[in-house]
Amino acid sequence: MVELVGLAAGATLTLIVVALHYAKGTGWEAPEDISQEVLEQRAATVPETDFAEPYNRSIGGGGAVAIPAGEAEGELGEGEAVEEEDKGFDPDDIADDEVEYYEIEFAKEGETIEVANNETILDAGEEEGWDLPYACREGQCISCAGHIEDGPATDHIRHSNNDSLMDDDMEEGYCLTCVAYPTSEFTIETGESP
């Protein structure tokens, strides 16, 4: 019986101490929330980009391309004109009665589809429901690169913009599917970069 009374007295004293502690409080206050200020400071240090989407879908994390010596800006002499092919083209300038369709075989997907000469290889593949790699959709990286098995890329496609592939890469059959428009029939392996 003595143990039971001692146990009850101990429990009662514990409850009284806990109640007094919570009633009195600890005096501790939460520090000021500075998360928004930190985010704003970080955002101010990050440069603005023109990328339509983050590099979240690229194979190998996007990829950097080294520019060989002598091929950087300023290579052309004064007064030299850039060839029409190097400037790219605007597919919106193709009139409706001039649109042509080409049979393009997607090797990895195991299917052949018709692609218009005013539609990118990437867009055509996505319309089929295929999850093809890409990142910038502007020809500024090589995440969407593909390999044309039928010879030099310039024989089969035109780029509306190409800031990443060198002439040697295109000679070996590589293209940027996000800005590549067909000019003939060919077979392409998507997700292949130089």
72: pLDDT strictly greater than 70: no
Instruction: State percent of the chain over pLDDT 70.
Output: 77
Domains of the chain: 103-190 (3.10.20.30)
8 A C-beta contact, residue 185 and residue 106 = no
Q: What is the pLDDT of residue 31?
A: 82
The strands making up 186-190's β-sheet, listed across from edge to edge, are 111-116, 101-106, 186-190, 145-148, 174-176
Taking residue 55's Cβ as centre, other Cβ atoms within 10 Å add up to: 14
13-40: burial string, b at 16+ Cβ within 10 Å, e else: eeeeeeeeeeeeeeeeeeeeeeeeeeee
Q: How confident is the model at residue 86 (pLDDT cuts 50, 70, 90)?
A: very low
H or E segment and range at residue 19? helix 2-24
Q: To the nearest whole number, what is the mean pLDDT of the chain?
A: 80
Q: What is the pLDDT of residue 52?
A: 52
145: pLDDT strictly greater than 50: yes
172: pLDDT strictly greater than 90: yes
84: pLDDT strictly greater than 70: no
8 A C-beta contact, residue 160 and residue 90 = yes
Q: What is the pLDDT of residue 82?
A: 37
